[in-house]
Structure formats: structure tokens, C-alpha cells
A and B are shown apart, each in its own frame.
Chain A
Amino acid sequence: MTPDLIYGLTGIAVFAIGLVGALCAQDRLRRVLALKLCSVGAGFILVVAAWREPPASPDPVPHALVITGIVVMVSATAVALALIRRLQTLEAEADE
């Protein structure tokens, strides 16, 4: 048992949960949450891939990739949420 194995499996499990949620959730906000879970799961795998046994320092390139991914994900989330707000407003207006 080493930390990379534990967190690698954690990452795969989180990604799988997010994938199921993104496919099966019908609520829009829940789908965004599910996709966020997927992105965190992918982050886990990359961070684990960068990990080395403690005396050695980890590989910085995957770390930079994950940071880039986090920033891109927050941009995508913001756009998705704006679309959800707009869509819900349009639906509410159509119902009136």
C-alpha cells in the first residue's frame, strides 16, 4: 500500500461517480456538479502520476497541467451556469 495507489483508485472512483452523474442526473445544476467531479477525478490521476517516493521531488509538469485544468474548468463552469440561469429565466417567462 502506497499513497499513489490509494489516491489513484480514489481518482478513478470519483471520475466514475461523476460520469454516472453526468449521464443520469436530470437536473442541470447536478450535471454541472457531476462534470466537476469528473475533472477532480482526472486531477487526482495526474497528481498521482507526478508523485515520487518522498525523498525525490514530484514532477512539476503534470502539476502545471492540473492547475491549467482547474482554471479552464472554472471558466467552463461559469459559462455553463450562465446558460442555466438564462435557460431557466426563459422557461419561467414562457410559463407565465
Chain B
Amino acid sequence: MTDPLILFDLLLGVSVVALAVAVMGARDLFAAIVLFVIFGLLSALAWARLSAPDVALAEAAIGTGVTGALLLKTLHHLRYVTGQLDQFAAPGMTPAEPVPMGVIAANAAFCGLITLGLAVAYLGAPQGGPGFDALVAEAMPQSGVEHPVTAVLLNFRAYDTLMEVVVLLAAVIAVWQIERGLSDAPSPDLGQVWQGFARLALPAIVVVGTYLLWKGSEAPGGAFQGGAVLAAVGLLLLLSRAYVPRPAHRGAARLLFVLGTGAFAAVALLVTGGGRVAFQYPPDQAKTLILLIEGLVTISIAVTLAALFHGREPVALPSRRDHHDT
């Protein structure tokens, strides 16, 4: 009855919870971020164990990799702004204020109630209840791809994915607007060894990202995982200063941001033009259309994530700092 893997599951579950506590409890912000990255990777491992390799890949690449880079960049910026760059530890950036006991008690009661409700709902729910397995399995032959998750993402629930790409686009627009006129923290000099590593890793990352995209139609992988891995190329280029964004590159960047959304919407409109509902691809062309969308969306995702990491829109900064709002 007892599978030896259950022991592994128990150990992993306990580690994940302990890491979550450690993330919240760490005194140093840098330590909290590093612990969060480890937490994300172990969660990805747990999801791989729950036979969800696509989700695990996405969590490892986007939820942990890209997010970790974003968090560390923000911490660097905050330390630069508050003049703590030369200090080794960063205990916190916002001054802590005393909280009345009543508020703490109310918060604790609220959290306890929600957790209790979740636990009751989870334990009371029918296990392995009727999902969408049968429906998806029935519709698979018409989807044009062999991997069910890709079929759901890009065929059966393509509206969701279109909106998801739009959310990414909205995020990069918002970040450019928020950071308008903000001066950048000087990026740290990482030295010769790092440069060599970047040079060795770059071609490999390009190959892995493209492989993930290509594999997506029949096995775990796909546009989001591939795009996130390709975004790492952008991060390496930005960090090693092999590529410095210039104001003149904004047009190309904007084009690449909307490329995925545009192609996705264009395909939907084209399909509608043929007398069908949007995203009801003709079965014999489904694979071509899905691969086309995936390829263009991957490029958009990679460029958008790299732009989110870079943050500020590459504009020529005014020379005087007190003059930045027009």
C-alpha cells in the first residue's frame, strides 16, 4: 500500500511549506527573494510529480526565473535609491509602523476563517470528480495537435490565451508609463567570468527555447515556456550590456510587443471570415494555424518579458533631474 514515493511527497510538501514560512520570516530582503526562488523551484518539482510537466515548466521558467530576476532588479533599484548599495544586508525598505492589537486580532481571525473555509471545501470536495478529461479526449482529433494542454490553450480555450497575451501587452505599456522619466540604477559590473558564461550559455538558451516551442504540439512545452526561456537571452544581453536599448529601437520593440496579439487576433478574424466561429479552426489547417500563432506569440512573449525586466522605456533622459515631467 505504502508507495516509497509517498515519503518523497511528504518531504517535498513539508519543505515547500517550510520555505514559504522562511520567505515571509527572512529578515533580509535579498534572502527572502532567494528563498522564494527555491520555493518556486520546489513547487515546480511537486507539480512535475503530480503529472503536470507543462505547469512545472511554466512555473520554473516564468513564475520563478523571470519573476526572481524582476524582484532582484527591483531590490537593486530600491537599494540604489535609498543609498544602501554598499550595505550587505537589506532588512526592509518601508519603515515599519506599530500596529494596534485589535487590527492584528482581526487579521488573524480573517486569515484563519478563510483557511478553514478552504480546508473544508477542499476536503469535502469529491475526489477525482468529473473533469473535462472526457470532453478533451473526444475533441483531440479535431484540435490539430497531439498534446492536450496545447490543444486546450490554443484551440479549445483560445480566447483565454488571447486575453493572456493582451494582459502581457498591457503590463509592458503600464510599466513604460509608470517609469517614465525615472533614472536607472547603475547596473553592477559582473566581471570577466560572467561575460564568458553569458557567451557560452546564449546559444544553448536559444536552442532550448526553440526546442520547447517546437515540442509543444506533441509533448510538454509550448509558447509560454519557450518564450520565457528565450526571454533569458534578452536578460543575459541586457545584463552583460551586449545590447543597450536605445530610443531609436522603440518602434521595433513596439512592433514585437503587438506581433503576437496581432497575429492571434488576425487568425481569429480570418477564421470568422470563413463562416465559422472565431477560433473554430478548419481541422486540416489547425496545426499550421496553431504553429503560426505559437511561433509569433513566443517572439512577443520573449521580447515583452525582457522589456518588463529592463523596465524604463528607452528615452533620452533630460539632463536636469527636476525637469522630468512635462
Establish whether A and B are touching in the complex (CB under 8 Å): yes
Using a CB–CB cutoff of 8 Å, the interface residues on chain A facing chain B are: 1-4, 6-10, 12-21, 23-30, 32-34, 36-37, 39-40, 43-45, 47-54, 56-68, 70-79, 81-86, 88-89, 92
CB contact under 8 A between A71 and B132, given known A13-B17, A17-B17:
no
Tell me the bound Cα distance from A16 to B67 in angstroms.
Answer: 21
Interface residues on B, range: 35 or more
Tell me the bound Cα distance from A39 to B59 in angstroms.
Answer: 11
Write the chain A residue with the least CB distance to B75.
Answer: A29
CB distance from B5 to the nearest CB of A (A): 8
Instruction: Identify whether the interface residues of A are mostly helix, strand, loop, or mixed.
Output: helix
Q: Lowest 6 A-B CB distances belong to which pairs?
A: A75-B171, A59-B131, A60-B148, A10-B13, A16-B115, A64-B152
Residue contact B17 to A1, C-beta cutoff 8 Å: no
Which residues of chain A are near B52, meaning CB under 8 Å?
47, 50-51, 58, 63, 66
Q: Which of B13, B99, B118, B311 contacts A82 (CB 8 A)?
A: B311
Residue contact A88 to B67, C-beta cutoff 8 Å: no
Tell me the bound Cα distance from A22 to B163 in angstroms.
Answer: 27
Of the A-B pairs whose beta carbons lie under 8 Å apart in the complex, a sample of 16, sorted by A's number, is A1-B6, A1-B10, A4-B50, A6-B6, A14-B43, A16-B114, A16-B118, A26-B92, A33-B33, A48-B50, A51-B128, A59-B132, A64-B152, A67-B224, A83-B178, A85-B77
Which residues of chain B are near A1, meaning CB under 8 Å?
2, 6, 10
Residue contact B9 to A68, C-beta cutoff 8 Å: no
Write the chain B residue with the least CB distance to A81.
Answer: B74
Residue contact A74 to B305, C-beta cutoff 8 Å: yes
Residue contact B49 to A3, C-beta cutoff 8 Å: yes
Tell me the bound Cα distance from A71 to B317 in angstroms.
Answer: 31
Residue contact A51 to B50, C-beta cutoff 8 Å: yes
Residue contact A30 to B29, C-beta cutoff 8 Å: yes
Residue contact B122 to A85, C-beta cutoff 8 Å: no
Q: Which of A17, A33, A51, A61 contacts B132 (CB 8 A)?
A: A61
Tell me the bound Cα distance from A57 to B259 in angstroms.
Answer: 34
Residue contact B51 to A78, C-beta cutoff 8 Å: no
Tell me the bound Cα distance from A60 to B75 in angstroms.
Answer: 37
Which residues of chain A are near B237, meaning CB under 8 Å?
none
